Structure 1
Amino acid sequence: MMKKENKQSRGKMTQKRILETALKLFTEKGYDKVTVDEICEKSESSKGSFYQHFSSKSTIFLVKFFEVDNHYAQVIEAMPEDIDVYEKISIFFHEALCIINDQMGKDLMKVIYSSALVSNDHTYFLNKDRELTRIFISFAEEIQRNQPIDSASQVEDLLMMMSQTMMGVIYYWSVSQDDRKLPELAQYVTKTMIKGLKSLNEVHLP
């Protein structure tokens, strides 16, 4: 049992080393200019170890997003239960954007968005297995339960609105020269989105 635990621990350390090395290289050189061979060399890992933990170079971003999603789950767990869904969304957006700001950073997000625009390999933003997607769906379902029966709002519409708002504000922050931190930059946009969510029962979505 001890040997198995030690092997798992070493595996996690190897994955973390490869992940951190790759993200550092992506930030410094750009995603397209970094090869798997270079990542292996800089992280002092074999190619076999790389593909044991990552199915491809683009998977590195997905693994990082799943890692960040664990922090999103902790935000939800710590959230008070006696508040309405719109307050939950407001708190979550603020905390999630703090995580992006502090743990990902503007330079890395710029690389991530740039690589996603030129390749079909990057599906992490809308990956349905992500905790972030499940959180947005839970918000959407709670909103829908509180809407009038004849509301045209659907879970997919609400999910799209929240996803596009978060992706849009992160994209603007990553490519702009605005020196404000992401949560501060997103305050007005988040409030506007929540106002729109509240009024959806008066809007006929296609």
Structure 2
Amino acid sequence: MSKLTPRQVKAQETKEKLLETGLKLFHEKGFDHVTVDSIAKACNVSKGAFYTHFDSKYDIFLEKFKDIDNFYLSFVPSIPKDITASEKILLFYEGQLTYLRDELGKDLIRTVYASPLSLTITEDHYLASPQRNLYKIIHAFVEEGVESGEFKKDFPAEYISMLVTRCMRGTIYDWIIFGDKLDPVEEIERFTSTFLDGVRK
């Protein structure tokens, strides 16, 4: 791999600064009250510099979720192959929620999840897109469970996958609502285990 030029390094640093500053301002002021101008000004760069890296302030959320999804993808190889699909799902969720809780923190997750809800949620929205690594990983585990006979064949893998990911989103929203009264890592295990008990043979 060729070494980055000083200009490329500077561009990467600027993009990262815009990303982190944008997320910080969204949390402090609310998504609707933050403008591209205010993000650029806080970073001491021009508005044009912002648009070099992002098409809109909303793309800051999309960029953050790409980072999060890349973590999920890198975590999968640590999951043993010789365990049940249910165990794989639970281990994956344990890793996911530990990462969200300990690395990103509740305040950032609250901002990332809550602010875009004022916008129209379409199938391509990052919270719902079936193309996210998160959903592809869960769907692969569920398909494995259906094909091996671990899960009932009463429901298609797509439907089970949707409900399994709903366990995750519900846990995250409850964590945002209840704060320290709820440990998301413990809750995701209880919540998802209860659901999986209902679809196992």
Name the structure 2 match of 1:60: 60
Tell me how far apart the structure 1 counterparts of residues 47 and 121 of structure 2 sit (CA, whole Å): 20
> SS of the counterpart of 1:125?
coil
RMSD: 2.4
Name the structure 2 match of 1:174: 176
Tell me how far apart the structure 1 counterparts of residues 109 and 2 of structure 2 sit (CA, whole Å): 39
Regions of 4+ moved over 6 Å: none
Distance 1:197 1:65, change over 3 A: farther
**Equivalent pair of 2:90/2:189 in contact (CA under 8 Å):** no
**Does residue 1:189 correspond to 2:194, yes or no?**
no
1:47-196 → structure 2 map (5 Å cutoff): 47-120=47-120, 123-147=125-149, 151-196=153-198
Tell me how far apart the structure 2 counterparts of residues 170 and 37 of structure 1 sit (CA, whole Å): 31
Task: Please give the per-residue CA displacement for 1:66-89, whole angstroms capped at 9, x wherever unaligned.
Answer: 101111112101121211211111
Size of the alignment, in residue pairs? 199
Distance 1:19 1:146, change over 3 A: same
Tell me how far apart the structure 1 counterparts of residues 80 and 96 of structure 2 sit (CA, whole Å): 16
Name the structure 1 match of 2:33: 33
**Identical counterparts, % of pairs:** 36
Task: Please give the per-residue CA displacement for 1:160-201, whole angstroms capped at 9, x wherever unaligned.
Answer: 1122111111011102244343212333112212223324xx
- Letter of the 1:51 partner, please give it: Y
- Unaligned runs of 5+ residues in structure 1 are 200-206
**Equivalent pair of 1:144/1:153 in contact (CA under 8 Å):** no
Distance 1:63 1:197, change over 3 A: farther
TM-score by length of 1: 0.85
Tell me how far apart the structure 2 counterparts of residues 78 and 63 of structure 1 sit (CA, whole Å): 25
Task: Please give the per-residue CA displacement for 1:126-168, whole angstroms capped at 9, x wherever unaligned.
Answer: 12332112112211221221238x9232122022112211111
TM-score by length of 2: 0.87
Please report how far the alpha carbon of residue 3 of structure 1 lies from its aligned counterpart in structure 2 after TM superposition: 7.9
> SS of the counterpart of 2:153?
coil
**Equivalent pair of 2:89/2:141 in contact (CA under 8 Å):** yes
- Unaligned runs of 5+ residues in structure 2 are none
Tell me how far apart the structure 2 counterparts of residues 171 and 182 of structure 1 sit (CA, whole Å): 10
> SS of the counterpart of 1:32?
helix
Distance 1:153 1:7, change over 3 A: farther
